[in-house]
Every structure is written in structure tokens, then in C-alpha cells.
């Protein structure tokens, strides 16, 4: 069994420590109501409200930021509160134009990364999956630990089974070695209930990281 590994590199955050419950759009609405209350909420709930208010989108243009912030927070949280501990697996991303896939399962949920790439030589990537201790969230992170991939991706797809995607983000550059995360433009990829994939004719062939946070069926009970 692989030793626990942080799911994302440490990034300085303007937000307070993450509470026991992840912020969600529902919590953002609750936070708005809390502003009308004269009394302070319990510390954990107040922190969640603050995070939701800081990260919640104001219209379509804010969805990417909201997804990126919450996905990063969720992955960090899952690393600390995973029921079975995050599972990390290394694999080679190989150029040559052929379609390759890599999968990892945990707690009855599966994440599969499918791609084809050209140019350069093999690159070592990682897939990190985690399940929250209450079995409500499943996370999947696929990335190049060195930060920037120099391969020319002609297609990519990340798919989860057993859960529905709540937040997802794709990056042309991952935060590592003093570099910062550089998200793809929203027009470059699409997100469905179970899949994140490139958009034909819009994707600019650069990919270094994918992050997914998905709700499990238990969250709907």
C-alpha cells in the first residue's frame, strides 16, 4: 500500500483553516442568511460560511474560480480525513499518438484517465484518489509532480464511476517548484456528471493536471 502523499502541492491560502464540512453551493446560500443573524455562528460553521462567501461565484464568470477553490480545498481535506487514506499510484504518460488509459479504484469508486499525446519522451505522472471518512465524497487528482508537461496532448478524458462530479478543473501547468497553477480556459474542456474531457477544436494541447471532486450516492440519501 502506498504511503500517504499530499494530494496537491502546498499552496499559500487566503482562507481560514478548512472546517469539518466542505463548503458547497448550499452552504453559500446558508452563509448569506447568516449575515442577517446578530449572534455569531459556531466556529466551524462560521469558517465554512466565510470560505463559501469568499469563493462563491457571482455569475457564469466565477464558476471556474469556485470550482478550482473548492476542488483544491476538498482534495486537501480528503487527504487529512480519508477513511482508507489516499491512494497514490505513479504511471508513465507516453507519447506516440496512441490512446492509453490508467485507472485507480478506492472504496468502490474508480477514476480513469485516458489520453493520447505526441512529442518528447515518457513523463512520470501520478494519480491520487481519496474517499472522505463519511463516504460522501470521492476525489481524483491526475498530475505531473514536476509541474509542467511538455507533451502535446491531442485528447484527454478523466472519468469517475460510482459517483457524480461536483467540481472539476483542468490545468496547463501545475503548482510545483515555484510555479503556479495555470487553469485551462473554460472553452477548452467540458464537464458532465461523470467525465471531464477536452473540447475538440478548442483545446490548446497543453495539460499538466486534472482535479475532480465527486459526490457519492450516500450524499443523496
pLDDT in tens, 61-87: 344 444 544 555 555 444 444 455 799
Q: Given 1.10.10, 3.30.1490, 1.10.287, 2.60.220, which CATH number is that of 82-220? A: 2.60.220
List the grid coordinates of 105. Answer: 479504484
User: pTM to 2 decimals?
Assistant: 0.66
Name the percent of the chain lying above pLDDT 90. Answer: 57
What is the model's pLDDT at position 84?
59
According to the model, what pLDDT value does residue 21 have? 42
pLDDT (mean) for 146-159? 98
- Name the residue ranges covered by the structural domains of the chain: 25-80, 82-220
- What are the strands of the beta sheet with 123-131, ordered from one edge? 87-93, 123-131, 137-143, 209-215, 164-173, 182-183
Please give the distance of CA 171 from its chain centroid, rounded to a whole number: 10
CB 141 within 8 A of CB 117: no
> Is residue 132's pLDDT more than 50?
yes
Residue 45 has pLDDT above 90, yes or no: no
**Proportion of the chain in helix, strand, coil states, percent, rounded to 5:** 25, 35, 40
- Lowest-confidence range among 65-74, 115-124, 150-159? 65-74
The closest alpha carbon to 211, from 167, 179, 180, 164, belongs to 167
Collapsed DSSP state (helix, strand, coil) of residue 63: helix
Which helix (H) or strand (E) element contains residue 214? strand 209-215
Q: Is the Cβ–Cβ distance between 165 and 214 less than 8 Å?
A: yes
How far apart are alpha carbons 105 and 84 in whole angstroms?
12
Q: How confident is the model at residue 41 (pLDDT cuts 50, 70, 90)?
A: very low
> Residue written as cell 474560480?
65
pLDDT at 189: 99
Question: How confident is the model over 108-132, as a mean pLDDT?
Answer: 97
What would the mean pLDDT of 90-103 be, rounded to a whole number? 98
pLDDT band, very low/low/confident/very high, at 218 (cuts 50, 70, 90): confident
Amino acid at each position: 500500500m502506498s504511503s500517504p502523499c499530499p494530494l496537491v502541492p502546498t499552496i499559500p491560502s487566503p482562507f481560514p483553516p478548512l472546517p469539518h464540512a466542505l463548503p458547497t453551493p448550499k452552504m453559500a446560500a446558508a452563509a448569506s442568511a447568516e449575515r442577517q443573524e446578530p449572534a455569531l455562528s459556531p466556529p466551524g460553521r462560521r469558517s465554512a460560511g466565510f470560505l463559501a462567501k469568499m469563493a462563491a461565484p457571482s455569475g457564469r464568470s466565477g464558476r471556474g474560480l469556485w470550482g478550482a477553490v473548492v476542488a483544491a480545498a476538498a482534495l486537501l481535506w480528503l487527504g487529512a480525513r480519508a477513511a482508507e487514506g489516499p491512494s497514490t499510484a505513479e504511471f508513465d504518460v507516453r507519447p506516440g499518438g496512441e490512446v492509453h488509459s490508467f485507472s485507480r479504484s478506492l472504496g468502490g469508486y474508480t477514476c480513469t484517465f485516458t489520453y493520447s499525446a505526441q512529442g518528447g519522451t515518457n513523463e512520470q505522472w501520478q494519480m491520487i484518489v481519496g474517499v472522505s471518512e463519511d463516504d460522501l465524497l470521492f476525489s481524483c487528482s491526475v498530475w505531473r509532480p514536476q509541474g509542467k508537461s511538455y507533451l502535446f496532448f491531442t485528447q484527454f478524458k478523466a472519468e469517475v464511476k460510482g459517483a457524480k462530479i461536483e467540481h472539476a478543473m483542468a490545468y496547463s501547468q501545475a503548482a510545483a517548484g515555484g510555479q503556479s497553477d495555470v487553469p485551462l480556459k473554460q472553452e477548452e474542456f467540458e464537464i458532465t456528471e461523470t467525465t471531464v474531457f477536452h473540447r475538440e477544436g478548442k483545446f490548446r494541447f497543453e495539460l499538466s493536471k486534472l482535479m475532480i471532486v465527486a459526490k457519492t450516492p450516500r450524499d443523496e440519501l
